Structure 1
Amino acid sequence: MSKTLFEKLWDIHVVMDIDGDAALLAIDRVLMHERTGGVALESLALAGRPVLAPERAFATMDHIVDTRPGRGDATLMPTGTAFIQATRQGARAAGIHLFDITDPRQGIVHVMSPEQGILIPGITLVCPDSHTCTQGAFGALAWGIGSSEAEHALATGTLRVQRPGTMRIMIDSQLKPNVSAKDLALHILSRIGSAGARGKVLEYAGSAISALDAEGRMTLCNMATELGAFTAIIAPDQKIFDYVKGRPFAPQGVDWDAALASWQSLYSDPDARFDTDLRFDAADVVPMVSWGTSPQQSLALGAPVPTAQAVAGRDTAEAHARARDYMDVTPGQPVTGLRIDGAFIGSCTNSRLSDLRRAAAILKGQHVADHVRAICVPGSSQVKAQAEAEGLDRIFLDAGFEWREAGCSMCFFAGGESFGPQQRVISSTNRNFESRQGPSTRTHIASPETVAASALAGVIAAAPVREISL
Structure 2
Amino acid sequence: MGKTLFHKVWDFHVVKNIADGLDVLFIDQHFLHEVTSPQAFDGLRNRDIKVLMPNRCVATADHNVPTVNQSKPIRDPLSAAQVASLKTNCEEFGIELFGIGHENQGIVHIIGPDLGITQPGMTIVCGDSHTSTHGAFGTIAFGIGTSQVEQVLASQSLVLSKPKTMKIEVNGTLPFGSTSKDVILYIISKLGTEGATGHFVEYTGDVFEKMSMEERMTVCNMSIEMGARGGLIGVDQTTIDYVLERKEISEEKISWWTSLNTDPDAKFDKSVTYSAENIFPMVTTGTAPDTGIRLNERIGAAPHLSEKSLKYMQFSSDENVADQAVDYVFIGSCTNGRIEDLRAVANLIRGKKKADSVNAWVVPGSMKVRSQAIEENLDQIFRDSGFEFREPGCSACLAMNDDKIPSGSLCVSTSNRNFEGRQGDGARTVLASPLTAAASALTGKITDPTIFLDAN
Shorter-chain TM-score above 0.5? yes
2:154 alignment counterpart: 155
**In structure 2, what is the equivalent of residue 393 of structure 1?**
379
How do 1:59-458 and structure 2 match up within 5 A?
A: 59-75=59-75, 77-247=76-246, 250=247, 252=248, 256-306=250-300, 311=303, 314=304, 320-458=306-444
Per-residue CA distance 1:438-470 (angstroms, 9 max, x = gap): 110111010001001000101111113667999
Q: Deviations over 1:21-67 (max 9, x none)?
A: 21000111100111112332233233211111111100001010111
**Deviation readout 1:318-350 (Å, 9 max, x if unpaired):** xx0001100111112111021111111000000
Q: Is the 8 A contact 1:374 1:455 kept in 2?
A: yes
Separation (CA, whole Å) in 1 of partners of 2:250 and 2:83: 35
Given that residues 111 and 380 in structure 1 are in contact (C-alpha distance below 8 angstroms), is that contact kept between their aligned partners in structure 2? yes
2:52 counterpart residue number = 52
C-alpha contact (below 8 Å) 1:107/1:381 kept by paired residues: yes
Q: For residues 468 and 376 of structure 1, do their structure 2 counterparts lie closer, same or farther at Cα, with a shift above 3 Å needed?
A: farther
Structure 1 position 192, deviation (Å): 1.1
Work out whether residues 362 and 464 of structure 1, in 8 Å CA contact, stay in contact via their aligned partners in 2: no
Q: Helix, strand or coil: the match of 1:264?
A: helix
How far apart, CA to CA, are the structure 2 residues paired with 1:91 and 1:465? Answer: 49
CA contact (8 A) 2:105 2:111 kept: yes
Structure 2 CA distance for aligned equivalents of residues 333 and 19 of structure 1 = 55
361 and 468 in structure 1: CA distance in 2 versus 1, 3 angstrom threshold: farther
Aligned equivalent of 2:32 = 32
Mapped partners of 2:226, 2:441: distance in 1: 28
Question: How far apart are 1:362 and its partner, in Å?
Answer: 1.2
Q: SS of the counterpart of 1:6? A: helix
Q: Is contact 2:348–2:453 with CA below 8 Å preserved after alignment? A: no
- 1:12 and 2:12 aligned: yes
Residues 1:469 and 1:86: Cα distance change in structure 2 (over 3 Å): farther
Identity of aligned residues (%): 41
Any conservation in 2 of the 1:357–1:468 contact (CA below 8 Å)?
no
Whole-angstrom CA distance in 1 between matches of 2:58 and 2:97: 6
Structure 2: distance between partners of 1:40 and 1:177:
47
Secondary structure at the aligned position of 2:333 is classed as coil
Question: Could you list the runs of 5+ residues in structure 2 that have no partner in the other structure?
Answer: none
Amino acid at match of 1:264: T
Q: 1:465 to 1:134 in 2, by over 3 A?
A: farther
Q: Contact between 1:60 and 1:109, CA under 8 Å: does it hold in 2?
A: yes
Backbone CA RMSD of aligned residues: 1.7
Other structure's SS at 2:149 match:
helix
Aligned equivalents of 2:453 and 2:190: distance in 1?
A: 29
Equivalent-residue separation in structure 2 for 1:71 and 1:450 (angstroms): 32
Normalising by structure 2, we get a TM-score of 0.97
Amino acid at match of 2:386: G
SS at match of 2:58: strand
For normalisation by structure 1, the TM-score amounts to 0.94
1:408-437 Cα distance to aligned partner (Å, 9 max, x none): 011110224311110111111111111111
In structure 2, C-alpha distance between the alignment counterparts of 1:135 and 1:406, rounded to whole Å:
19
| SS of match in other structure, 2:175 | coil
Structure 1 unaligned spans of 5+ = none
C-alpha contact (below 8 Å) 1:183/1:285 kept by paired residues: yes
The secondary structure found in structure 2 opposite 1:271 is coil
SS at match of 1:348: helix
